Structure 1
Amino acid sequence: MKTFKYKNGYICLTALSENAVRIRTGLSDKFPEENPCVRYGIYDMSDKGDICNIPVTIDDDRLIINNMRTEIVFGKGFDLKMTVTPSERFYGLGDADRSTLEKRGTEHVIWVQNVKCYIPYPMIVSSNGWGIFSSTTFRQKFDICCTDSDILSIYSDKGKCDIVVFTGDNYKDLLTQFKSITGFSKLLPKFAYGLSYVANQKIDAFNMINEMYTFRREEIPCDVYGLEPEWMEKRYDSSVDKKFNTTKFYIPYWMNTETIKNNTFFKPIRDMDFKLSLWLCCNYDLSYEEERNAVIKKQKEQQNDDSSDLSYLEDRFEIDEHLGNPKYMDTLTVREEPWFKHLEKFVDMGAKAFKLDGAWQVEEHPDRLYGNGMKDDEMHNLYPLIYAKQMSDGYEKHTGTRSLVYSSGGFAGIQQYVATWSGDTGGGPKPLVSMLNLAMSGHVNTTCDMSVHSIEGIHFGFLQPWSQQCNWDYWNQPWLFTKEFKKAYIYYARLRYSLIPYIYSAAFEAYANITPIMRPLVYDYPEDEKTFNILNQYMFGRFLMVAAFIGENKVYLPEGIWIDMFTNKEYEGERYISYDIPQGKGGALFIKKGAILPRSYGLLSVSEKPFNSYTIEIYPSVLEHTFKLYEDDGISLEYKEGKRSITEFKVIKVDNAIKISVSERKGDYSNKPDMVSYDLKVMNINENDLIYINEVLNQHEIIDGIGVIHINEKELFG
């Protein structure tokens, strides 16, 4: 850490890595840690020593950061201005904007707001290989060359200047630097990557079980079934005394937890392999728990201190015990009790997930003073973040397994704790832009409320990192749809579930190697100017590209050869095409030639059967492509300790020889299958093509232009 004189105060530089430097300003040359996200263990801004390669020079009032002329005015609040080049583009800011992907020429307020801005990220990344993160939780404004065409401005009238500048060769490198500070993406339990269905809020236990049974009878895959606020005895109960609404979800008063789990509605839920999700709202003062965890424990104060002055009691003729303790205006919060503590009983009964509604976490509390001493101007953006943290940590500490907690509100760092959905804004084009912006901000596990009123909405809703349909007060059960819509819904639900091995591998890739599951085309094709601001197309995993809400039947294909999953037609890339959506479909889904797609057909729930056989669909290319199939137990936290398995597939076509390489499964985990078999399907094969597997020529049959080989590990490796 180094401190320099600058203008009317000082600048403190802290190296966070070779490619990231923290820059703080102050009126004193002392820089104690004041960032609440650091104090609460959310951000890692620890000093890594004298290792940073980012040049920062300070000469009197002249400040150059990463070769950019910079000026910072500070005192009460701050105003930072950086001179940027005319050609660079900017991405990020999370959910602060839903109108555009590329941010140059725009300005945005970083402040959690219902509907307008659920999950802001005060960070941007530049096409010139650098990024900036302003970590204050106070309200601030990013002006990205809007007021001045060559000036990036960050302004806050209260927060202190506490920024991180980071560099990288590409967007992946930049997000790696950012997430090394704010936390890496969470790997959800495997079932979370199936379908989450949220019921009509008027539902009762009988109809809930009947709906679950109908999903299974109609063979519509689904994993999570969510209840809305009326599951509680008191609607919108934000206290720690909440109970099930016994009129709708009767639980005999005399039953203990074990009896409830095995003799009430929780038993058929478990038997049908559903996971129950409960809706929550929270107005609890979460800061007490954060402060408890942040402050080093001191020794207990000595009891019965002899030095205490008790003489004032002599004047008390009567002792009223009601006057012996302080009184708090906040009668909701039990200061000694963590928020999650009261939810443990529901988890013990069988609840497996929680939905964190926007109430009251996204609303302002202008007259509130929190237990950590903060007012709402500093706590407002922080609140959804520590809410997510305590829910995730509480569940995982209590169960020893991964949590599925999903929230509408958030702030930078939310990616390490929970999944999110785009709030009460439906499932149309604007939520799509929000999800793309969040991807470029480092948040991975995103979705929206699926719109089932159009096949376009169903198409988009099932092709997301995780999928959710929220009924709220509607009658949108898929078996009640018209024949056309029901058929489309079932098609896309089964398509998603067949891709679970592919999606789950992409989720691990996002956790371990940064690349988001769903991301804008510019992430993969940063040199192609046509991708710079495409708002309705995105990569989905390594090899799939989705186009949603196709207005003028126009779809852009980046470089390469692309195969329409619905029609099997091939297209040359680096051009726009006119695309007619096939009957019964809601958009386009393209496979990049060279793709290797692991699939598992016939699933009605993710954990219905062990993943001991896969269909591997291969689209050979003259360029070698690889895919790493990721496997673990799907639920425990052991993946963090390396208890997982990776199988690497490679394919290349040389003349008429299709060369496939399959590795052994490397790694181990609980309940790992003893043997795995593969149905290798080589797509669009010619009659004279030869198939080699691990350099051995294999006989294959051709069925409808697909070369099929059945093989298992024993045959491959002995």
Structure 2
Amino acid sequence: MHSVKGYGIFWDNYSTTQFEDNAAGASFTSEVGDGVDYYFIYGGNADGVIAGLRKLTGQAPMFPQWVFGYWQSRERYKSQQEVVGVLKKYRDLHVPIDGIVQDWQYWGVDEKQWNSTEFVGPGYPDPKSLIDSVHQLNAHIIISVWPSFGNKTKIWADMNNHGYLYNSYITWPINPAVQVYDVFNPKARDLYWSYMNKNIFALGMDGWWLDSTEPDHHKEKPGDENILTYDGSYRKMRNAYPLLHTQGVYEHQRETSDAKRVFILARSAFAGQQRNGTTVWSGDIRSDWKVLRNQISGGLNIGLSGIPYWNTDIGGFFENGFSRRGTKDPAYQELYVRWLQFGTFCPMMRSHGTDAPREIYQFGQKGYWAYDAIEKYINLRYRLLPYNYSNAWAVTSNNSTMLRALVMDFPKDEKALDINNEYLFGKAFLVCPVTDSMYTSKASAKTTFDVVKTQSVYLPKGTYWFDFWTGQQSVGGQTIEKQTPIDVLPLFVKAGSIIPMGPELQYAAEKKADQMEIRVYPGSDGSFTLYEDEGDNYNYEKGAYATINFKWDNLHQTLTIGKRKGAFSGMLKTRKFNIVLTGSKKESTVTYNGFPKLVHL
């Protein structure tokens, strides 16, 4: 719980807990506890509170650079040819992509073979070839693994022989032949990893989609709460399940190899899960405008809880409520485009869902409004890669948060405190996603763009704001109407911001940013630290990285590019920076070789 007075309360309890906040006051109540256990954190502001929480529960490590590219997924790709074919299609279309997901049932469709961790489905005759082919296309792949197993699998037999299964716990699929393992037992976590490592990681897999990390609990019986885990009753421990599940994978992969940074995508979280190299997603949500609207506030609350990496299924998981024409339905196309615009300004940009495939070419071809809007934002995501990766370093090195509720940066602006459909992405961008249909008739499902619609956007007070698309400047403390054609997301930049923009790319590691645009937004002093490293592995923990500090002096209209600090293998020693002063025609191109530069604009 945060207060605008600069303190927070962390209620340290794993059992089912109720939080209430009303005129009588705020309270936490948990079902089980050896005593009242909480921490008072005084940080001075929300960032300080989060820093204190991470000091208590763990710091967030760096993800690989490719994680911050574009991700395509589907429930589900049914063969290795299908996975590789999707990537080839993106490459043929020259649409950037870095990640693809292999969802469930690569182990086959027999529920008794559930989550065997083995590629036994008929579509996967050569899983090593699958992974190698993905890598040859300059992409990465993660795979779905669950905390439950069918009773015909080798891992189930091993877990059962050691007494590591919850025998009466009904999970997904709802089949008594499928059982959950006791994640609280460190030896059970060892055994779990041994199968993942032998059957999947050793083949070259890049990361993990840990589904059902709650885990799913169906047909719940009173006795289920009395199941004894390694650390006590399930009633006492249940909410920590995803924390221990991701911890087991993170720690074991780190022990196995430092060549790849751990990347885990998990459906649930508990306080401290950021230390396990985990991004959380919001689950199997519906394709609905109200659901899209609620994702914003949900993501902001995750960030305020100290967990910096979060995302949603772009377009919603269940494509229901539409005409069942899927991606050919203009009403769904409009929702998807707006959702993808929001996803561009989330820590992870990932399209996923069932019912209708979501690849860009499912929405038409170049020249069609939906396709063009999708392509525009994927390309923007890659141009912002230096900004996003540097903000990831700020998370790791300085306890920052990427998805920022307005209260974090404007605690004295009373109008900003209860706004939960806008946020800052990093400390520069003000994002206000469109969360309702503007151009498609709900009655006829026909789309028309004859009249450009607008959206109300509140600009927090105390600073100036620049329209990212037009460069127009507005004073804060007012609500404006922003024109929102289908390919325009209301997006503003705070005065004093410095935004590095890289070249257009087809994938994150395609080429070094030997020419980089540095956009300066005047009106206030400001600074930005550009971070770079080898892009993967853990050498950054040993000091193998470099930073360059940019400092804007608004009074003298000068940009100081500081001395480069640090070094790493493959680092650019000389490059060009094209400095652009937003809102003017002033710009300057400088050659930078690691020594300080002063640029007058």
CA contact (8 A) 2:373 2:486 kept: no
1:665 to 564, 570, 573: 564
| Alignment match, 2:581 | 682
> Per-residue deviation at 1:467?
1.0
CA contact (8 A) 2:90 2:96 kept: yes
2:204 to 336, 340, 350: 350
2:267 to 408, 414, 419: 408
1:216 aligned onto 2:115: no
- Tell me which protein shows more helix as a share of its residues: 2
* SS of equivalent to 2:307: coil
> Per-residue deviation at 1:193?
1.1
Matches of 1:448 and 1:329 in 2, distance apart? 31
- Tell me which protein shows more strand as a share of its residues: 1
- Give the alignment's Cα RMSD to 1 decimal: 2.6
In structure 2, stretches of 5+ residues that fail to align are 151-160, 168-178, 182-186, 316-332, 437-453
1:174 to 49, 60, 64: 49
Structure 1's 525 and 359: CA in aligned 2 closer, same or farther, altered over 3 A?
A: closer
1:446 to 298, 301, 310: 310
1:595 aligned onto 2:497: yes
| Alignment match, 2:442 | none
| Alignment match, 2:29 | 155
* SS of equivalent to 1:497: helix
Matching residue's letter, 1:402: R
Structure 1's 279 and 528: CA in aligned 2 closer, same or farther, altered over 3 A?
A: same
* SS of equivalent to 2:313: coil
Per-residue CA distance 1:137-184 (angstroms, 9 max, x = gap): 11122222x2xx243222223223111122221111111111111112
In structure 1, stretches of 5+ residues that fail to align are 1-123, 252-259, 286-324, 686-704
Structure 1's 236 and 514: CA in aligned 2 closer, same or farther, altered over 3 A?
A: farther
> Per-residue deviation at 1:588?
0.5
CA contact (8 A) 2:406 2:424 kept: yes
Higher gyration radius (CA): 1
* SS of equivalent to 2:511: coil
Matches of 1:232 and 1:326 in 2, distance apart? 23
Matches of 1:327 and 1:152 in 2, distance apart? 42
| Alignment match, 2:192 | 339
Count of residues in correspondence between the two structures: 520
Matching residue's letter, 1:469: S
Matching residue's letter, 1:565: F
1:537 to 409, 422, 430: 422
1:629 aligned onto 2:530: yes
2:341 to 448, 453, 459: 459
CA contact (8 A) 2:387 2:499 kept: yes
- Equivalent residue runs for 1:202-281 within 5 Å: 202-234=77-109, 241-251=116-126, 261=128, 264-281=129-146
Structure 1's 238 and 649: CA in aligned 2 closer, same or farther, altered over 3 A?
A: farther
> Per-residue deviation at 1:403?
0.9
| Alignment match, 1:651 | 552
> Per-residue deviation at 1:673?
2.6
CA contact (8 A) 2:502 2:515 kept: yes
Matches of 1:381 and 1:706 in 2, distance apart? 55
> Per-residue deviation at 1:580?
1.8
CA contact (8 A) 2:105 2:121 kept: no
Identity of aligned residues (%): 22
| Alignment match, 1:105 | none
| Alignment match, 1:431 | 295
Matching residue's letter, 1:154: F
Worse overlay, 643-652 or 239-248: 239-248
**TM-score, scaled relative to structure 1:** 0.68
| Alignment match, 1:642 | 543
CA contact (8 A) 2:495 2:522 kept: yes
> Per-residue deviation at 1:326?
8.9
* SS of equivalent to 2:512: coil
Matches of 1:350 and 1:235 in 2, distance apart? 26
* SS of equivalent to 1:381: helix
> Per-residue deviation at 1:461?
1.3
1:470 aligned onto 2:352: yes
CA contact (8 A) 2:344 2:381 kept: yes
* SS of equivalent to 2:284: coil
Structure 1's 407 and 578: CA in aligned 2 closer, same or farther, altered over 3 A?
A: same
Worse overlay, 157-166 or 540-549: 157-166
Structure 1's 162 and 330: CA in aligned 2 closer, same or farther, altered over 3 A?
A: closer
Structure 1's 603 and 706: CA in aligned 2 closer, same or farther, altered over 3 A?
A: farther
> Per-residue deviation at 1:568?
2.3
Structure 1's 241 and 228: CA in aligned 2 closer, same or farther, altered over 3 A?
A: closer
> Per-residue deviation at 1:133?
1.5
> Per-residue deviation at 1:282?
1.0
Matches of 2:69 and 2:313 in 1, distance apart? 14
Structure 1's 373 and 591: CA in aligned 2 closer, same or farther, altered over 3 A?
A: closer
**TM-score, scaled relative to structure 2:** 0.81
> Per-residue deviation at 1:679?
2.1
Matches of 2:312 and 2:300 in 1, distance apart? 12
Matches of 1:444 and 1:487 in 2, distance apart? 30
2:237 to 379, 395, 399: 379
Structure 1's 272 and 514: CA in aligned 2 closer, same or farther, altered over 3 A?
A: same
Matching residue's letter, 1:470: H
| Alignment match, 1:605 | 507
| Alignment match, 2:318 | none
> Per-residue deviation at 1:234?
4.7
* SS of equivalent to 1:209: helix
1:394 aligned onto 2:228: no
> Per-residue deviation at 1:616?
1.2
CA contact (8 A) 2:106 2:123 kept: yes
Matches of 2:429 and 2:90 in 1, distance apart? 28
| Alignment match, 2:444 | none
* SS of equivalent to 2:74: strand
Structure 1's 713 and 415: CA in aligned 2 closer, same or farther, altered over 3 A?
A: same
> Per-residue deviation at 1:373?
5.1
* SS of equivalent to 1:389: helix
1:126 aligned onto 2:27: no
CA contact (8 A) 2:434 2:455 kept: no
Structure 1's 459 and 327: CA in aligned 2 closer, same or farther, altered over 3 A?
A: closer
Matches of 2:595 and 2:274 in 1, distance apart? 42
> Per-residue deviation at 1:629?
0.5
Matches of 1:439 and 1:533 in 2, distance apart? 16
Matches of 1:709 and 1:234 in 2, distance apart? 58
Matches of 1:207 and 1:643 in 2, distance apart? 38
Matches of 1:233 and 1:223 in 2, distance apart? 27
CA contact (8 A) 2:166 2:227 kept: no
Matches of 1:596 and 1:578 in 2, distance apart? 25
Per-residue CA distance 1:50-94 (angstroms, 9 max, x = gap): xxxxxxxxxxxxxxxxxxxxxxxxxxxxxxxxxxxxxxxxxxxxx
- Equivalent residue runs for 1:303-322 within 5 Å: none
| Alignment match, 1:363 | 217
1:135 aligned onto 2:12: yes
Worse overlay, 328-337 or 600-609: 328-337
> Per-residue deviation at 1:583?
4.4
Matches of 2:116 and 2:31 in 1, distance apart? 40
CA contact (8 A) 1:281 1:360 kept: no
> Per-residue deviation at 1:337?
4.4
CA contact (8 A) 2:115 2:146 kept: no
> Per-residue deviation at 1:405?
0.6
Structure 1's 245 and 484: CA in aligned 2 closer, same or farther, altered over 3 A?
A: farther
Matches of 2:411 and 2:493 in 1, distance apart? 19
CA contact (8 A) 1:238 1:282 kept: no
1:503 to 388, 397, 422: 388
CA contact (8 A) 2:214 2:267 kept: no
Matches of 1:206 and 1:630 in 2, distance apart? 37
| Alignment match, 2:372 | 487
* SS of equivalent to 1:380: helix
Per-residue CA distance 1:411-455 (angstroms, 9 max, x = gap): 111121111111112561112111101111111011111126432
